[in-house]
Amino acid sequence: KQEVTQIPAALSVPEGENLVLNCSFTDSAIYNLQWFRQDPGKGLTSLLLIQSSQREQTSGRLNASLDKSSGRSTLYIAASQPGDSATYLCAVQTGANNLFFGTGTRLTVIP
């Protein structure tokens, strides 16, 4: 069964710093990997989707990489802002349609 792990569980950084969030998964036979943002008590906002044939995707200050063979993905956030404070979730799609989620990294950006 696919297991998705995210490290660290929580991260606090000063505003302006660049940071990296890590995601690992046990079964490399994935269709894609998605990064989401979740604000407290709210839904999930999709940030980036990387297909299994891709190595990275970029959107604004966000860059996600995927190393399928080693079962790893990173989310790089450049020049962090207080508004980036949220929980970041990664999820992999391995089967028909469902996503397997990690437990998330709770990010706090200190002004």
Partner 1 sequence: EPEVTQTPSHQVTQMGQEVILRCVPISNHLYFYWYRQILGQKVEFLVSFYNNEISEKSEIFDDQFSVERPDGSNFTLKIRSTKLEDSAMYFCASSEMTGLETQYFGPGTRLLVL
Binding residues vs partner 1 (CB under 8 A):
31-32, 34, 36, 41-46, 49, 51, 89, 91, 93, 95-104
Query: Minimum Å distance from CB 44 to partner 1?
Result: 4
**Nearer to partner 1 among residue 48 and residue 107 (C-beta):** 48
C-alpha of 30 from chain center: 15
**Nearer to partner 1 among residue 47 and residue 107 (C-beta):** 47
**Nearer to partner 1 among residue 18 and residue 45 (C-beta):** 45
DSSP string, 37-106: EE-TTS-EEEEEEEETT-SEEEETTEEEEEETTTTEEEEEE-S--GGG-EEEEEEEE-SSSPEEE---EE
